[in-house]
Amino acid sequence: MVPKVRRRDVAEHAGVSEALVSYVLNNKAAQNRIPPQTAERVREAAAKLGYRPSVFGRALKIQKSNLLALVSEDLTDHHTTELFRALSRVTQKSGFGLFVMELSIHPASALEDLRAMELGFAEGIFLHLPSASKLPPGNSGQLLGKPACVVGRQFSDTDVPCVEVDNVAGAQLAIRHLCEAGAQRIGVVADRRDYPFVQERLDGCAAALKDFKDCAAHVYYRQGTEDQYQAGIAAVEEWRNLRLVPDAVFAMGDMIAVGVLHALHQSGIPCPQRIKVVGFDGLPLGRYTTPSLSTIQQPYEAMAEAAFDVVRRGLAGEPAPTTTKRLILVPSLVTRESSSTHPARS
C-alpha cells in the first residue's frame, strides 16, 4: 500500500512550516502575507507529491461541510430522479454538494434513519416523502436541528416548509384537455389512496368535470405491491374485464401512463385514435414513448430553486418568507401525440 502523503511531507518538500502549507492550500496566502513565489512552491510540492487535503478533517475543523441531503422513500421513482437533478444543478451553482439517502419503508425504521443524520455531514435536508408519517417533530422550520424543506410533496401537519406543484390545477388541466378533445368516459389511474397528493388530484378532476356535464370519470387505485408501471397495465386490464373501457385516461404519473400505453398496445387498442392518454410529471421519457406522451409538466427547476432558498436562508440564520411556508407552484400542459385530435399516420 502506498503511504498517504501528509501535510508534513509537503512542508518538508517545500521547506516551509505546516501552518504555511495550510494557509496556501486553503487559499489564504494573500491575507497571511505569504509571498507569491513561496505559495507557488507549496502548490508545486503538493502537486508533485499528490497531496489531497482531507475533506472530513477540514469539515470537522470549520464545522461546515457544504453538503446537503435529499431524503426519499424510493430512489427508483423517476419523479425523485428529476427532483434530484434539478436540486443538484441549483445547489452546485452556490457551491454546495448534494447526496441522496433512501429511507426504510417502515415508519419506525425511517425515523431512526433520519435521526442518524444528526451525526452526518449534511448541513440542510430536502425531503421527498409521500406523507408526513415518517417525519420526527419539526421546530421553527428545522428538522433534527438542521434547516429543512419538503419538496415535491406538501404536508399540513408539520412545521417543515413545503414546496410543491399545484396538484389540483394540474389535474384540472389534464381533464379539461381530454374533455375538450371529445372524451366522455375518462379513466383515472391514481397512485396509492393514502398519499395526500392523490386526493388533491382527484379534487382537481372533480372540479374540471363540473364544466363538462356529459363527462364522467372512474378511478383505479394503485394496489398492493404494484409499481407505477404495473398499475397502469392493471387499470386497463380491469376496465376491459368490467367492460368499462374509457375513451381517455388521466394517469397520475408518467410511469403509470407508460404502463397504460403498453396495455393499450398489447390489447390492440390504438392511442390516440380510440383512447387518449395524459400523464403527470413531465419526465423526459415521455418524448420517446410510442405515441409520445402528453403530460402535466411539473416546474422542477422552480421547485428546486424555491426549496434551496428555504434551506439557504436557514443556514444563514435568516427568517424564511411567510410565502414559502407552503409554496405551491403552477404546472403546465405539454400536448403530444397521445392526446392529439389529429394523430400522425403510422
For position 298, what pLDDT does the model report?
A: 97
Highest mean pLDDT out of 90-94, 128-132, 151-155, 157-161: 90-94
With a CB cutoff of 8 Å and minimum separation 6, the contacts of 243 are none
Q: Can you list the domains of the chain with their CATH numbers?
A: 7-53 (1.10.260), 65-165+300-329 (3.40.50.2300), 167-298+333-339 (3.40.50.2300)
For position 276, what pLDDT does the model report?
A: 98
Specify the range with the lowest mean pLDDT, choosing from 132-146, 164-178, 219-233: 132-146
Q: What is the pLDDT of residues 104-148, one digit of tens each?
A: 555 556 556 666 655 467 888 898 876 655 565 555 566 667 888
Confidence (pTM): 0.77
When pLDDT is averaged across residues 18-32 and rounded to a whole number, the result is 82
Residue 287 DSSP code: G
**What share of the chain has pLDDT > 70, as a percent?**
82
CA atoms within 13 A on the CB side of 122: 27
Top-confidence residue, 245 or 341: 245
Query: Residues 123-137, buried b or exposed e (16+ Cβ, 10 A)?
Result: bbbbbbbbbbebbee
Query: Is beta strand 142-143 parallel, antiparallel or unpaired with respect to 146-151?
Result: antiparallel
Q: How many other CB atoms sit within 10 Å of the CB of residue 45?
A: 21
**The dihedral of CA 110, 113, 115, 117: what is its sign?**
negative
